[in-house]
């Protein structure tokens, strides 16, 4: 198997694990999918298309990514209404940038279910990621979610 296809497998595995840990609310596992220096952002396509820089979430370093978990677990717990999520992620594009660095685009649909049983789609859109592959490990150097819809509720968890 050539290296490109092998790395695509590793990327697919990373994307799958990303949705898997978030849906299980294993936030330490989520942090573990990012490189030592990494960034996580959520933007709306509306803002992006208008050239407006505001994000829904702007965790532009690893400390901020760790803080997101701290806020979810230590600040909001007990107040916010928890919900289940189910990520469906489909890889669309992989570009080899050399030295094990890959740009990866994928679509996502994230379903949510409230405690009441009411369910719907909380966010749909696409990811644009930078993935670093070293040996058998693949991690996000950056992960950026672009959402198409107006969320039908507030967003507690990372997308």
Partner 1 sequence: MTDFEKIRGSIANRFGSSADIPKEIFSDEAVYQHELEQFFYGAYWHPLAHRAELAELGSFKTTWLAEVPILITRTKDDDIKAFVNSCSHRGALLEQRACGVAEEFECPYHRWLFDNKGSFCGAPGQREFRSDFKREDYGLASLRVAEHAGLIFVTRDPLAPTLKTFLGDAAPSLSDCMLDDGKLELIGYQKVIYQANWKAYIDNDPYHAPLLHTAFKLLDWQGSKGELINADPYGHMCINYQVKHYKDNGFLNDPSSVEFHGTDDRARVVALRPVTGITKHLDTINVRFARPLGVNQTEVHYTFFGHQSDTSEYREHRIRQSSNLLGPSGYISIEDAAIYNRVQATTRDGGLAHFVKGVGKPREEWTQNDEASNTVWWEHYRDVMGFSSLEGE
Least gap, CB of 97 to partner 1 (angstroms): 26
Half-sphere exposure of 142 (CA within 13 A, CB side): 13
**At a CB cut-off of 8 Å and minimum separation 6, what does 129 contact?**
103, 104, 105, 106, 140, 142, 143, 144
Least gap, CB of 53 to partner 1 (angstroms): 5
For residue 150, state whether it binds partner 1 (rule: CB under 8 A).
yes
Q: Which is nearer to partner 1, 32 or 152 (CB)?
A: 152
Identify the sign of the CA torsion 109, 106, 143, 100. positive
Query: Is the distance from CB of 112 to CB of 156 less than 8 angstroms?
Result: no
Q: Which is nearer to partner 1, 94 or 111 (CB)?
A: 111
For residue 52, state whether it binds partner 1 (rule: CB under 8 A).
yes
Which of 16, 75, 93, 121 forms a contact with partner 1 (CB under 8 A)?
Answer: 75
For residue 54, state whether it binds partner 1 (rule: CB under 8 A).
yes
Q: Where are the alpha helices (DSSP H) in 33-80?
A: 45-49, 62-70
Which of 4, 61, 90, 92 forms a contact with partner 1 (CB under 8 A)?
Answer: 61
For residue 53, state whether it binds partner 1 (rule: CB under 8 A).
yes
Query: Is the distance from CB of 143 to CB of 114 less than 8 angstroms?
Result: no
Q: Which is nearer to partner 1, 55 or 89 (CB)?
A: 55
Interacting stretch for partner 1, rule CB under 8 A, among 17-25, 64-72, 104-112, 136-144?
A: 64-72
37: nearest Cα among 144, 140, 156: 140
Query: Is the distance from CB of 132 to CB of 100 less than 8 angstroms?
Result: yes
Sites of contact with partner 1 (CB under 8 A): 42, 44, 46-47, 50, 52-61, 63-64, 66-67, 70-71, 74-76, 79-81, 150-156
């Amino acid at each position: 198997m050539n290296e490109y296809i092998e790395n695509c497998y590793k990327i697919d595995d990373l994307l799958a694990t990303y949705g898997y840990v978030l849906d299980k609310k294993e936030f330490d596992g989520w942090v573990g999918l990012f490189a030592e220096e990494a960034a996580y952002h959520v933007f709306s396509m509306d803002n992006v298309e208008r050239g407006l820089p505001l994000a829904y979430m702007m965790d532009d370093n690893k400390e901020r990514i760790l803080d997101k978990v701290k806020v979810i677990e230590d600040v909001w717990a007990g107040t916010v209404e928890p919900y289940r999520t189910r990520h469906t992620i489909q890889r669309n594009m992989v570009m080899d940038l050399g030295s094990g660095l890959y740009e990866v685009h994928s679509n996502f649909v994230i379903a949510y279910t409230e405690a009441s049983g009411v369910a719907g789609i909380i966010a749909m859109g696409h990811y644009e990621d930078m993935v670093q592959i070293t040996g058998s490990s693949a991690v996000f150097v950056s992960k950026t979610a672009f959402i198409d819809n107006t969320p039908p509720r507030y967003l507690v968890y990372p997308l």
